[in-house]
Structure 1
Amino acid sequence: MKKYYSVLSIAGFDGSGGAGIQADIKTISALGAYATTVLTALPVQNTTGVKSIHPIPEEVVANQLDCISEDIPPMAIKIGMVHTPALARVIGDWLKNNPKVPVVFDPVMVASSGDHLIEEETIESIKEHILPFATVLTPNMDEAAILAQKSVKTREEMHSAASYILNQYSFALLMKGGHLDTETLTSYLYLRPNQYVAYDFPKIETRNTHGSGCSLSSALATYLAFGETIENATKKAQDYVHQAILNGKDISTGKGHGPLNHLFNPQKMKIYELV
């Protein structure tokens, strides 16, 4: 029996098409996997920012998770926006009771515009119910600062925050350094406290970075579904996002932070033989 590699995105909506579930579908598809989705929230937003957020009822999210996974079991999972404490519990319970596959969690806490998207109670629920099941966590510097409860503005503070977080959990941590005040964009993959791999890319002068975090986490989940190691999947995912930004840097879409060019080099759907 021939099958596609399936990747499940559990995330919020973006009507402007650049972030959230829409970015995940584009990314997973562009890399040659089959995207399935579970919607967690309906933010009203465009490229200029988030106007309001409307949660999907928790029982509906639970029903979506059961319905999709019983029909098209995922080979990797990307989790994005988790907007309420109850929703974190629902997703955590589902992860606990389902087959173990790689889980990439992008802790969507701060929008590119600087808007805070979730409350402290939700953060605590995420720590308790979702982080124990994560394979890779992909915070930006602002989100790492929230999780570590300390300032994260320099490379040294990135290392300190990573050590604090990884002393509590067993996942790998990819901290994105897009907010570093340097000419080079550096991200760090921490496999354990004080052990890391650095990834350097030249910064691209553009406003079109809306959804880059969503795209990176879903690309990482896709490469893990293909069987790549965490290190290789991280490198390939970051290469993909860098090229997607580079190939869309001069395109005008919307009045704010425009999207990436997710489809700059779409791959054929990858197929494997189920024995």
Structure 2
Amino acid sequence: MANEFPQVVTIAGTDSGGGAGVMADLKTLQARHVFGQAVIVAVTAQNTLGVQDFMALPTKLIDEQFASLAADLKPRACKTGMLADAEHVHAVVENLKKVDFGPLIVDPVMIAKGGAALLAADAIQTVREELVPLATLVTPNLPEAVALTDRPIESTADMIEAAKLIQQLGAKNVMIKGGHGDNPELASDFVLLADGSHFWLSAPRIATKRTHGTGDTLSACIAAELAKGADLSIAIETGKAFVAAAIKATIQVGHGHGPLNHWVTPSTEVSRDDH
């Protein structure tokens, strides 16, 4: 039967350097044994040293990509990444309302590892008001969570409060990633689920600048596990474990913020704390 194989759509921008964006998403999906598809929102000129330029595609072409996938394929989950500006966020939102691509993972990409803005400042409100309410899961890092809540995050208590505020925006589930935190030993993420339950996921912090594409890889892995039928909390744990392993098993590519190793199997070093 056609379309029985698990499929996931990534809705994002490209990375010509191969480490992040749609490229990282498709590598992750392949590694997790699902069939990856893409709606390209923007094209970047990018390497491990930074983003030199980017151009968002005409929204008509975005509409046509959505329609093309919906006419033939059957995604069981989808994720968003770089969406460029308010116009393109809105275009993606309108298309997501028309199709059934399964659970939606929103990775609210705002700034590249090298510091380049990947989302126009005036688009944050559009993400907050239009995209987040559609999300099955939102996965902001600490700077993105600050932007979404307009509040500083300086402690674990602040992370918990930020998750609650983002959930109040309409997201069913929230994962605040702690990779930008100041704990030298652990990178800890806080997960708040729709039923009010919550837990922390921690992995040993690795001293490396080869972390380009971590957010993309995490959200893509979670989408892949959902497409295969996993429970959300298990999918999140697998995503964390996959990223932890992909950072640890470094590969030497580029002179800046290098990419992850997408050939890995999930790490066993990730711990969960439900308190």
Contact 1:141 1:153 in 2 (8 A): no
Alpha-carbon distance in 1 for matches of 2:117, 2:154: 17
Give the C-alpha shift of residue 173 in structure 1: 0.5
One-letter amino acid matched to 2:241: D
The count of residues paired between Structure 1 and Structure 2 equals: 264
Task: State TM-score, norm by structure 2.
Answer: 0.91
* More moved, 120-129 vs 102-111: 120-129
Provide the identity percentage. 34
Alpha-carbon distance in 2 for matches of 1:35, 1:119: 27
Contact 1:104 1:221 in 2 (8 A): yes
Return closer, same or farther for 1:178/1:62 CA change in 2, 3 Å cut-off. Answer: same
**Alignment-derived partner of residue 128 in structure 2:** 127
Give 1:109-128 correspondences, 5 Å limit: 109-128=110-129
Give the C-alpha shift of residue 163 in structure 1: 1.8
User: Bigger relative contact order, structure 1 or 2, given CA contacts below 8 A and separation 6+?
Assistant: 1
**Alignment-derived partner of residue 189 in structure 2:** 187
**Alignment-derived partner of residue 205 in structure 2:** 203
Give the C-alpha shift of residue 192 in structure 1: 4.7
Contact 1:159 1:194 in 2 (8 A): no
Alpha-carbon distance in 2 for matches of 1:154, 1:169: 24
**Alignment-derived partner of residue 225 in structure 2:** 223
Give the C-alpha shift of residue 193 in structure 1: 9.2
Alpha-carbon distance in 1 for matches of 2:169, 2:14: 31
**Alignment-derived partner of residue 263 in structure 1:** 263
Give the C-alpha shift of residue 162 in structure 1: 1.5
**Alignment-derived partner of residue 273 in structure 2:** none
Q: Does 1:161 align with 2:151?
A: no
Q: Secondary structure at the match of 2:193?
A: strand
Q: Secondary structure at the match of 1:81?
A: coil
Alpha-carbon distance in 1 for matches of 2:92, 2:6: 22
Give the C-alpha shift of residue 233 in structure 1: 0.4
Give 1:249-260 correspondences, 5 Å limit: 251-260=251-260
One-letter amino acid matched to 2:36: A
Q: Deviations over 1:148-184 (max 9, x none)?
A: 0011232122112112222221420011100111111
Give the C-alpha shift of residue 244 in structure 1: 1.1
Q: Does 1:41 align with 2:42?
A: yes
Give the C-alpha shift of residue 76 in structure 1: 0.3
**Alignment-derived partner of residue 57 in structure 2:** 56
Give the C-alpha shift of residue 115 in structure 1: 2.9
| Structure 1: gaps spanning 5 or more residues | 267-275
Contact 1:93 1:129 in 2 (8 A): no
Give the C-alpha shift of residue 40 in structure 1: 0.5
Give the C-alpha shift of residue 100 in structure 1: 5.8
One-letter amino acid matched to 2:113: S
Q: Secondary structure at the match of 1:113?
A: coil
Q: Deviations over 1:88-145 (max 9, x none)?
A: 1211111112226100010001222233322232112222322121100000000000
**Alignment-derived partner of residue 273 in structure 1:** none
Give the C-alpha shift of residue 50 in structure 1: 1.3
**Alignment-derived partner of residue 102 in structure 2:** 101
Return closer, same or farther for 1:15/1:170 CA change in 2, 3 Å cut-off. Answer: closer
Return closer, same or farther for 1:218/1:210 CA change in 2, 3 Å cut-off. Answer: same
Q: Secondary structure at the match of 1:185?
A: strand
